[in-house]
Structure 1
Amino acid sequence: MTEPVPLAEGLAFLRRRLAGDYEVDEFGYDAELTDKVLLEFLRPLYRDWFRVETLGVANVPQRGGALLVANHSGTLPIDALMAQVAAHDEVGRPLRLLGADLVYRLPVLGELARKSGHTLACREDADRLLRTGELVGVFPEGYKGLGKPYAERYRLQRFGRGGFVASAIRAAAPIVPVAIVGAEEIYPKIGDLRTLARLLGLPYLPITPLFPWLGPLGLVPLPSKWMIEFGEPIRTDEYDPSAADDPMLVFNLTDQVRETVQAMLDRLRLRRGGAFARI
């Protein structure tokens, strides 16, 4: 009797892993583990819990370096993971996310982040990825966007100093604005345990309607309806790479990207309607 193909593939996968017969790139990215294991854990959230709808997929280049610049929210960086699933499953390209150094200081999580293609949000790593033709994702708001209170939902925070724009210019890579609607409602932040957060070395420790009151159950994200839109690319190949050192040009392009993402968010939020209207 012939064994089922999925079982055969699974056994072959395990044999390769145990034998060390797999490859990782210079950043530690393990494409096979990401595709066959890590993303499989995320897809139920993407498809069934958040019911993510993607728009503007054709705006993402199918080849060559490109930089996706998105808003950041939701208390925990689940929006980054959902963007990774969207890029892989809808666009057909792996998304190499740039993350904060805190991620890589955490046991287990830091290693998993590396294996799934993430790397440190720094100039050197961003430049290398873009120049080698990768699709790179960045969330310029950082913790200020991720940890903002629910009352400020869908209001973009400051976009840093524009380092992502400079990297795109140096690599002549297009910048694709990305708007993510839905993450703001998964953990509505109504307070912050600041003293405890400082003791733990965290940027914030949120209070939500469910956490910490329900303990671990309070960490289950609410099933809001999500929409992710990829906007029209902003070209940078018309600039000389040396233009990346022009602070006024970098500032203006950064501001243009921020305004574009904000306008996309406003439109997309209206299009979605109520966060929990389609449960």
Structure 2
Amino acid sequence: MDYKQDKLNYKFSWFDWFCLWYPPGWLILFNRHWQKYHADPDGWNWLEYILFLIPAGFYLALLIRWLRLGCSFPIQQNREFNPNYQQAFRQEILAPIAKYYFRGELNQVENLPETAPLIVAINHAGMSFPWDFLVLAYLLGEKRNWTVQPLAGISLFEHPWMIWWLPPGWSKVLGGVRAELDDFADAVSHRIILLYAPEGIRGPGKGWFSRYQLETFHPSFISLSDRYQIPISPVVCLGSEFLHPWAINIRKVGKIFGLPFLPISFLMPIFALFPSMGVWAMKTRLSYYIQPVCFPENSANTNHTNAYRRAQELKENMQKQIFELIKKYVKN
């Protein structure tokens, strides 16, 4: 399908608004939009969508779909990033979620560069689907008309739960880059706008009680910034800690299920009844504070020790900004 000709072809109906405000329906939003633009014979159908909305109905829907597919997994397809579909998804699905649910806002926009390429480095929290990433990608796209590609955890691409939840290839088609060093380096070499969390999976996995404490920054983004002479735009996000509040990470159990983290909170019994809520998060205001740009150094002077030191200096500066912003909110 020609995405450009069918721009805004997906009309946000009363049923979509219902799904937006009824948490088990978020998975329906994602899949219905995909099916508007892609042939998806293995995807969810209307009977199964309705089952999402009732307690424990997802399990019956999963069984029905599994039987419908001949007791097998959905067919894996080799799909590539499509910026036109990313734009359609951004305008038709992300826009109402970012504006009316997460109320995303960019602050200190004067620090945001005008042109690409760029590595956007953001603190990462929430212990949930990466909404802090998706909303920032939406806001940057709207502000600068950029095509933003986020570096995403491998589990977002290939974990069996994700393959059943979302269409195979969904993350890649939307621009996700696998969080592996070779894929990271290849993406940076193509001089794109890359959205990156230097804390890695440790960020969302740190849990509620360490929500404002940044984890160690991996130095790879500093080395790649120097190698390809690409500036880094640090962004501090507040509000992501409330995406899944009061959650703690049960690491050992998470490893059994092959999950990067396993959040346990008062919401988990509800998630058990409505597994389609896995892409949902609590309503919060996601506020982004753009910090001054960090320019690359001469790549000839870059080594692991130097890159690590500079990565931790950036972490300390962002940590300072987080604490100052929190104090400001407390006073107000």
Q: Which runs of 4+ in 1 moved over 6 A?
A: 6-9
Count of residues paired in the alignment: 257
SS in 2 for 1:142: coil
Q: Does 1:113 align with 2:188?
A: no
1:80 aligned to 2:128? Answer: no
Q: 1:224 aligns with which of 274, 281, 284?
A: 284
Per-residue deviation at 1:164?
A: 0.8
Residue type matched to 1:65 in 2? P
Residue in 2 that maps onto 1:49: 101
Unaligned residue ranges in structure 2 (runs of 5+): 11-33, 40-78
The structure-2 alpha-carbon separation of the partners of 1:166 and 1:263, relative to structure 1 and needing over 3 Å to count, comes to same
Alignment partner, residue 99 of structure 1: 152
Superposition map of 1:55-66 within 5 A? 55-66=107-118
Counterpart check, 1:28 vs 2:85? no
> Who is 1:149 aligned against?
207
Q: Which runs of 5+ in 1 are unaligned?
A: 1-5, 20-26
Deviation at 1:39, TM superposition (A): 4.8
In structure 1, the residue corresponding to 2:234 is in which secondary structure? Answer: strand
TM-score, length-scaled by structure 2: 0.68
Indicate the residue corresponding to 1:10 in structure 2. 9
Distance (Å, rounded) in 1 between the aligned partners of 2:225 and 2:38: 39
Deviates more, 1:208-217 or 1:50-59: 208-217
Distance 1:243 1:198, change over 3 A: same
- Partner of residue 3, structure 1: none
2-structure distance, mates of 1:255, 1:99: 21
The match for 1:252 is 309
Matches within 5 A, 1:104-183: 104-106=157-159, 107=163, 108=166, 111-160=169-218, 162-183=219-240
AA in 1 matched with 2:148? L
TM-score computed with the length of structure 1 as normaliser:
0.80
Q: Distance in 2 between matches of 1:9 and 1:78?
A: 22
C-alpha distance in 2 between matches for 1:255 and 1:194: 25
Aligned CA-pair RMSD: 3.1
Post-superposition offset of 1:102: 1.8
Amino acid at match of 2:143: E
Which whole-Å CA distance do the structure 1 matches of 2:167 and 2:299 have between them?
Answer: 35
